[in-house]
Chains A and B, each alone.
Chain A
């Protein structure tokens, strides 16, 4: 046994060098002075890459040069007008500097690209080209000029598909990293807002940005995020979900420790509370850490609507959360273990409905829950017009015919339907998923031990949650441990002028966000006299 255990441990060895990594293949190689050699080398590297264009040209005074770029990633018109034309006509413009080199071009900032840099490193050059930059090599030069003229295709900014609001900003994040950063920057015009760049994925070289507001965020959390991102070794990142799985605190828990959102205002609200956002190129879903479970009750709109209404809605959500988790098992437990709990008239109705049903209540509820999940899944996957047909057929067949045929009882259908509606009403989809998944084991517990089984399940869940952490922040904070003295933004939302501090469990110093004494009732001023 111990041997097996040791083997398990030894599998956890250091990450192996990957031969697909660009840096390993080209490490240490330099741009040579011979343009021919360089061209040969690059043609070899980009063998069969039909989208990479190598365009030889002569600079103004006749020096041979080579422009390399990826077709489609760069602004073609700009390339012609800004780079190629002036370079070829350079002799006329810069005639007084016949010895000018690429270095000089760079020093003089004579290339009209958005951003230019010099590199002598081959791997850096290749990476730049693939990142959408235009490379310029010249005969006899050991350095290449990289000009940023990237202009990839992007989706226009639209309304986010998830997290819709009635009132509030309607812009959604897009797949483009730069667009997303600009959407955030536009709302926080402060140099305190930082975007740190990293690249993840050996093949995909996905650009990723860590965003935080200096002075609000706890430096430990940023360090932790950096550390966890640096640890990732994989071939490609296609969505922020890939990253989420690498940086989670407790990978085996169904509860997420990372929040994702498609809304720039949610990202910013998180940053202002001292959280850290991870923006990944190629996906509109930005990750926000740390996450606490209470955000399952919080929607973006909560902060835009009136606080009394919002507080009421939050209590409703809290109730619905419990319903989506507990209702099916509660139904099974009380009908099969403790019928004395049901008021007499209701009991007789349920008993009448159950009279000819062939399944035990727990099996019946389990089947119906599975059918419900199947309907939901089918509705999402199918194309929209077919999807509605599925829900029609599902609703009619399951809801009407099955009850009429006596295969399932009407109360079970009602319970399952209400549970479904309740689970849809939670604003955080990934947290709702956890509760939706956990209601199945709870259903089994309730079916075997009744209310006691439910109590068992709930206590086990509480123990699990109490032990969870997200980036060093306890998952149930600030309710337990009570780190800040108040709960102004958990079960209810206090008005803006009363939420004076940032959440203490996230923020180190600088915790005042709204100075006190702004209650409009006390500030009516002269017209009150």
Chain B
């Protein structure tokens, strides 16, 4: 299983774009009003910072996955202990993304179809690609679907140009102020935290030197698009309505009307969202399954799919209603625990220890 730099770029892009595009805008507008785009800019920079940390750490051990090099750095048992929070994060992130995707599809398209049907069918697809294609298959799907996602998003933005009001972006900075903008940055930046999943992927790069630049470009492109998307949303709906909307960017696509004929193109956004969710879910499932297999020292990682996929499905079915997963999850689980511990804390710790050990650890790795 090897992936190219181009494939990594499209994977990062298609995984980061949709969730941030749809869900981060609403939370950010609540805090930052018409200055949302500044918040988005800062969030993108924070995302790039996270990438820098994770890639720099991973590139010290270019042949090893996160699970492996944490053991190389901290020793066998401490390293394994460090993976426990990640294992929890993998399982929950998987089930939450599954739940979110299904909820979105459900709200956008269905009224009577049971939610579990959407989840089960989505899971079948994900298991299909992870089982038959592995990372290679996922990366190829990403390379194929990523450009489609990009084109549709750019198309939606272009089509919504005709009813924009530039004045809605003013006054800049006065209303929200520094605190408002920073408060808005946090929920937006949180969406880029899941780039930590890629610490398991860099080891499969056919040319590890490209890891940093391609991941950076992927995050940069998606955050720039989210920035533009947020600005377009505000220029369409003003600074008040998006805060109360469930997915403002989606609302904006529902608002498109060109020549009175190109209307209700939101269905294409749903399909694109499905593509993105599919890639996201399959990469995350792969990371979860492969990481768990390495963690438990299992040779046949594929057989773990049959254990973990149902587990994820069950966790995804647990929350009661549609707003609970996205809001509560970000507020109660992702922001207070995952971001400080999994995304920043442990990688920094590992980096520090690895720096202190210096070259000795690198030499140890060579013979293998």
Q: Please list the residues of chain A having a beta carbon within 8 angstroms of any beta carbon in chain B.
A: 334, 337-338, 340-341, 343, 449-452, 454-456, 459-460, 462-463, 466-467, 474, 476, 479-482
Bound form: Cα–Cα A433–B21 in Å: 39
Encoded as 1 (CB less than 8 Å from any A CB) or 0, chain B from 14 to 35 comes to 0000000000000000000000
- A476 adjacent to B270 (CB under 8 Å): no
Of B91-99, B211-219, B259-267, B338-346, the one contacting chain A is: B259-267
- B132 adjacent to A463 (CB under 8 Å): yes
- A456 adjacent to B113 (CB under 8 Å): no
- B109 adjacent to A451 (CB under 8 Å): yes
The number of chain B residues touching the other chain, given as a range, is: 20 to 34
Bound form: Cα–Cα A343–B265 in Å: 11
Bound form: Cα–Cα A443–B216 in Å: 41
Contact of B267 among A449, A451, A460, A479 (CB under 8 A): A451
Given A459-B125, A459-B278, verify A337-B109 contact (CB < 8 Å).
yes
Bound form: Cα–Cα A454–B109 in Å: 12
- A467 adjacent to B267 (CB under 8 Å): no
Contact of A456 among B121, B141, B267, B270 (CB under 8 A): B121
Give 21 CB contacts A-B under 8 Å: A338-B109, A449-B113, A449-B117, A449-B121, A450-B110, A452-B109, A452-B121, A452-B274, A456-B125, A459-B274, A460-B125, A462-B141, A463-B125, A463-B137, A467-B132, A467-B137, A474-B140, A479-B144, A480-B140, A481-B143, A482-B143
Given A456-B125, A467-B137, verify A482-B144 contact (CB < 8 Å).
no
Interface contacts beyond A338-B109, A466-B144: sample of 19 additional A-B pairs, CB < 8 Å, sorted by A: A341-B264, A343-B263, A449-B113, A450-B109, A452-B105, A452-B110, A452-B274, A455-B270, A455-B275, A456-B121, A459-B275, A462-B145, A463-B128, A466-B133, A466-B141, A467-B132, A479-B143, A479-B144, A480-B7
B11 nearest CB across to chain A (Å)? 12
Given A456-B121, A463-B137, verify A480-B143 contact (CB < 8 Å).
yes
B residues near A338, Cβ cutoff 8 Å: 109, 267
A residues near B110, Cβ cutoff 8 Å: 450, 452
Q: Which residue of B lies closest to A475 (CB)?
A: B140
Chain B, 75-125, CB within 8 A of any chain A CB: 105, 109-110, 113, 117-118, 121-122, 125
Bound form: Cα–Cα A481–B117 in Å: 32
- B144 adjacent to A480 (CB under 8 Å): yes
B residues near A449, Cβ cutoff 8 Å: 113, 117, 121
A residues near B117, Cβ cutoff 8 Å: 449
Contact of A460 among B109, B128, B270 (CB under 8 A): B128
B236 nearest CB across to chain A (Å)? 19
Main secondary structure of the interface of A (DSSP, over half): helix
Bound form: Cα–Cα A481–B139 in Å: 9
A residues near B4, Cβ cutoff 8 Å: 481-482
Contact of B140 among A340, A460, A466 (CB under 8 A): A466
Chain B, 139-181, CB within 8 A of any chain A CB: 139-141, 143-145
- B271 adjacent to A463 (CB under 8 Å): no
B183 CB-CB contact with A under 8 Å: no
Q: Which residue of A lies closest to B270 (CB)?
A: A451
- B264 adjacent to A340 (CB under 8 Å): yes
A487 nearest CB across to chain B (Å)? 11
B residues near A463, Cβ cutoff 8 Å: 125, 128-129, 132-133, 137, 141
B302 CB-CB contact with A under 8 Å: no
Bound form: Cα–Cα A479–B147 in Å: 11
Interface centre among A456, A462, A463 (most CB of B within 10 A): A463
Contact of B144 among A451, A456, A460, A476 (CB under 8 A): A476
B60 CB-CB contact with A under 8 Å: no
Given A476-B144, A480-B144, A481-B7, verify A451-B133 contact (CB < 8 Å).
no
- B118 adjacent to A452 (CB under 8 Å): yes
B56 CB-CB contact with A under 8 Å: no
Bound form: Cα–Cα A460–B141 in Å: 10
- B267 adjacent to A341 (CB under 8 Å): yes
Bound form: Cα–Cα A476–B267 in Å: 27
Contact of A482 among B6, B109, B113, B125 (CB under 8 A): B6
Encoded as 1 (CB less than 8 Å from any A CB) or 0, chain B from 268 to 281 comes to 00110011001000
A residues near B264, Cβ cutoff 8 Å: 340-341
B residues near A462, Cβ cutoff 8 Å: 141, 144-145
Bound form: Cα–Cα A159–B133 in Å: 43
Bound form: Cα–Cα A489–B278 in Å: 30
Bound form: Cα–Cα A449–B271 in Å: 13
Bound form: Cα–Cα A19–B4 in Å: 52
B90 nearest CB across to chain A (Å)? 22
